[in-house]
Amino acid sequence: MLPFVLSLFITIVLFVYFVNKQRPKKELILYSVMSLLGIVQFLLLIIDKPIQLPAIMAELIDRLM
């Protein structure tokens, strides 16, 4: 729970900072998308259903071979 709360807090604080700095909209969108990916992963870890990159790779390799 703590990493989720911390990452959410850091993301919001930095987002406000970058908006105040008038960063281009494209950069802010990329920032939001990447942050969202990380936050969603932490959320999935809380409910014990995280995205497992090695499992995805193994599945792909098994299908291809």
Partner 1 sequence: MENATLSQRQFLSIVIFTTISTAFYLLPGVLIADAKQYAWLVPIWTGFAGVGISLLWLYLASQYPKVDLFQISHQVLGRVAGKIVSIFLIYQMILICSWVINNLNDFMTITLLTHTTDWVFGACFLMIAVYSTIKGIEALARTTEFFVPLLILMIFLFFSIAVNVWDWSHFTPVSEIDWEGVFPKSSFMIAFPFMDAFTFIMIFPYVKEKPGLVYLKGSLIGALFLSAVTFLIIGTLGVSRASHIAYPLYTLSQELELSPFLEHIEGGISIFWLIFVFIKLMFTFYCAVTGIAQTFNIQHRGLISVPLAIVILGFSQSMHQNIIENIEWMKKYILQQESLVSVVIPALLIVVHFISRRRRT
Which positions touch partner 1 (CB under 8 A)?
2-3, 7, 10-11, 14, 18, 23, 26-27, 30-31, 34-35, 37-39, 41-42, 45, 50-54, 57-58, 61, 65
Q: How far is the CB of 8 from partner 1 (least distance, A)?
A: 9
Whole-number Å distance between alpha carbons of 28 and 21: 11
Tell me whether residue 20 or residue 54 sits nearer to partner 1 (CB atom).
54
Separation of alpha carbons 40 and 42, rounded Å: 5
Residue 23 C-beta: closest distance to partner 1, Å: 7
- CA 55 – CA 21 distance, rounded (Å): 40
Determine phi and psi for 52, rounding to 5 degrees. -110, 105
